[in-house]
A = this chain, B = another copy of it.
């Protein structure tokens, strides 16, 4: 059995990996996120890759400097980044209440897309690395919301650490009319795609 490392501090991503019943460690990437891409699917892949490679670098340099401590096992590092896209705009986490209000006012009564980029970095015990990066897109249709409903939702405190200012898995559920795609991709990690892409490479996440 190898080790699985989630390169993200997101409690939602951790909960999703716990939900599917795999054993993993959490080691969040700490580096500054540098976006050079304008298209949402490119931006999330870029950031997911940065996170996974940063943690892979930590693991590898640890291996180089403390060789005797390195356990001879394979390591899978999972990096991910999620954004909301509406029209030409990419929405990350709202800066403040006014920003959350602006985002929710824009999204209410409309359909937008949620993109999660995932980067899977595989290190074998000898230090060799492989990387698979992809993204998933889910369309989310939000019900019409009155100004009062938007303010009441913001008052729950949920919007502030969520891309697009809402949590589909939280109290915003009552305003989600429908989705087209993977639900967990909106929550923050498309665990089906992670499992299925690794399966195509001959890797069983449960036997890693």
Contact = CB atoms under 8 A, between A and B. Distances in A.
Contacts of A192: 143, 173-177
Contacts of A178: 138, 180-182
A125 to B, nearest CB: 26
Interface stretch (A16-24, A27-35, A55-63): A16-24
Interface size class of A (residues with CB under 8 A): 20 to 34
Interface string A188-202: 000110111000000
Nearest to A182: B178
Contacts of A196: 143, 174, 177
Interface of A: 16, 19-21, 138, 143, 152, 156, 168-171, 173-184, 191-192, 194-196, 205-206
Contact of A156 (B21, B168, B195): B21
A21 B169 CA distance: 12
28 contacts: A16-B173, A19-B170, A19-B171, A20-B171, A20-B174, A143-B192, A143-B196, A168-B183, A173-B184, A173-B192, A174-B192, A174-B194, A174-B196, A174-B205, A175-B192, A175-B195, A176-B183, A176-B192, A177-B192, A177-B196, A178-B180, A178-B181, A178-B182, A179-B179, A179-B180, A179-B182, A179-B183, A183-B183
Contacts of A173: 16, 19-20, 184, 191-192
B179 A191 contact: no
A156 B206 CA distance: 13
Given A16-B173, A173-B20, A175-B192, A180 B182 contact: no
A20 B182 CA distance: 21
A178 B206 CA distance: 22
Given A19-B173, A179-B181, 7 more contacts: A19-B170, A21-B171, A173-B191, A174-B194, A175-B195, A176-B182, A176-B183
A194 B195 CA distance: 33
Most buried by B among A179, A191, A206: A179
